[in-house]
Amino acid sequence: MNEARKHSRLSGCDYSQNGAYFVTACTAGRMQTLSRICRGDPCGRPRIDLLPLGKLAEAAFSRVADLYDVSFDSYVIMPNHVHFVLVLPETRATARVAPTVGRVVGAYKSIVASEWRKMWERQGKQAGSVWQRGYYEHVVRCEEDFLDILRYIEENPARWADDPYYI
């Protein structure tokens, strides 16, 4: 069955404008290849243990930030997805093309997948797909929205057991 892709784009929004964007990218097949959520903290807070792919995903944030002069205000690397707040800067009159949400997310996913393939090739093996096609984005519209998203990111590991892909 070939379902049409759903587009979450906000009508009339320029995704190269400065501002904050909440982004979610999922692993291929929603496989739990990025991290493990561990219980056991005396206060009940879960701990995130990054797997090798998750460590690459974490390192890619600083590489992409340097490449595009953007920032990632907050992120969480869950077992089968990442959430992050991407902040695009004010556009400047330079020779550099203004980053867009799509360009930045594409670069992030590409860097992670490329490093993953290199890691497997050094072992004489072939790596499978890392990411699901596309991603979800939400334009952060106000301070209250921003604070809600930051809280959601922070609390996401505690809700992992309620995730439909939790095993």
Q: The whole model's pTM is what?
A: 0.85
For residue 138, how far is the Cα from the chain centroid? 12
Closest listed residue to residue 157, CA positions, set 61, 19, 67, 38: 38
Residue 11 lies in a domain: no
Asked whether the predicted pLDDT for residue 162 surpasses 70, the reply is yes
- What the block records as the tokens of 74 is 């907050």
The number of folded domains in the chain is: 1
Asked whether the predicted pLDDT for residue 93 surpasses 60, the reply is no
| CATH classification of the domain holding 129 | 3.30.70.1290
Q: What is the DSSP string of 105-163?
A: HHHHHHHHHHHHHHHHHHTT------B-SS-EEEE--SHHHHHHHHHHHHHGGGGGGGS
Is 95 or 47 the better-scoring residue by pLDDT?
A: 47
Domain of 146 in residue numbering reads as: 19-160
* Maximum mean pLDDT: which of 51-55, 87-91, 93-97: 51-55
For residue 162, how far is the Cα from the chain centroid? 20
- Whole-number average pLDDT of the chain: 85
Backbone angles phi, psi at 123, to 5 degrees: -95, 5
Asked whether the predicted pLDDT for residue 88 surpasses 50, the reply is yes
What is residue 27's DSSP assignment? B
Residue 41 lies in a domain: yes
* Alpha-carbon torsion, ordered 89, 62, 132, 100, to 10 deg: 20
Residue 97 lies in a domain: yes
Residue 167 lies in a domain: no
Look up residue 135 and give its amino acid: Y
Instruction: Name residues whose C-beta falls within 8 Å of residue 36's C-beta, 6 or more positions apart in sequence.
Output: 48, 49, 51, 79
Residue 93 lies in a domain: yes
